[in-house]
Amino acid sequence: MSEFEPICEKCEERLQPFLDRELSEAERLEAETHLAECDYCGKRYRFEISLRRYVRSCCSEEMSSELKAKLANLRLAE
Amino acid sequence: MAEAETDARRLATEARDRVRFEEEALGLADQVYRVARRLVPSREEAEDLVQETYARAFRSWRSYTPGTNLRAWLMRILTNLNIDRGRREQRAPDMQPMEEGDYFLYNRLEETSGPADEERIVERLSQDSIVEALSNVPHDFRDAIVLVDIGDFSYQEAAQILDVPIGTVMSRLHRGRRVLKSELAESAVSDGDEP
């Protein structure tokens, strides 16, 4: 990777709709063609994917067994 | 006594349907809690909210149509209760969330701590900073992120749960993720400033 990597914003606007599969077929193909040859955008796309995964794992908190038992009791109390 | 027999059968069927409903609903509790926990600020509030949701669901189980999406049905109850109780913290009216472009956070992380493997660079963000950044996203945006990215609901399901058009879910999701990244960029910069 070069120290003077040129800044590229070509795919920035399409990042979220691309990952969310909201682009039209033509737009998607265009983005894919660009991503195949642009390391700058490619890195940022891969970063976004790992960020989403990371947010999900950091923000997933399991419920306590006490709460689970309380919920089951709500059912029996009826 | 054909009538009594029919009645008995009907009651038995209903009891069976009810047990099935309750078991299915309880089987989804982990997923319901995971979403609830990020919709409200504290664990206590999330636990209360989930309990109220299940109490209401068990009471009104007959209004659920078997074979339809029970997870979304439960979540709809939960988000409505959350709104009804006025639990959602209000954002100051003049506070517009800061939004940057979608490459902003990556650029900032690279600037502050040098280039790295783009799939490992997220690890420079602490778990606490992620949780805090998400809690700072205005609730309309956050609800969409929590439902789709943490709860695994489709856009269509999220639209039904929040009672907004699907296009609104998309735009809240996109803007919310940008706000989230701006928040993270800010916390990454202030962490970097520490001696």
Closest alpha carbon within chain B to A67 = B47
CB-based contact, A63 to chain B, within 8 Å: yes
CA atoms within 13 A on the CB side of B179: 23
Which of B22, B131, B170 is closest, CB to CB, to A75? Answer: B22
Contact B30 A52 (CB under 8 A): no
Element holding B131 (H helix, E strand): helix B127-135
**What are the mean pLDDT values of chain B's consecutive 10-residue runs (195 residues total)?**
83 90 96 95 95 96 93 96 74 68 91 79 91 92 95 94 95 94 86 51
Contact B50 A63 (CB under 8 A): yes
CB-based contact, B177 to chain A, within 8 Å: yes
Query: What pTM value is reported for the model?
Result: 0.87
- CA dihedral of B149, B154, B160, B163, whole degrees rounded to 10: 40
ipTM of the complex: 0.84
CB pairs < 8 Å spanning A and B: 104
Q: Distance between CA B148 and CA B72 in Å, rounded?
A: 12
Say which residue, A56 or B192, is predicted with more confidence. A56
| Lowest model confidence (mean pLDDT) among A35-49, A63-77, B80-94, B109-123 | B80-94
Locus of tokens 């969409």:
B144
Q: What is the pLDDT of residue B113?
A: 76
Residue B162 three-state SS: helix
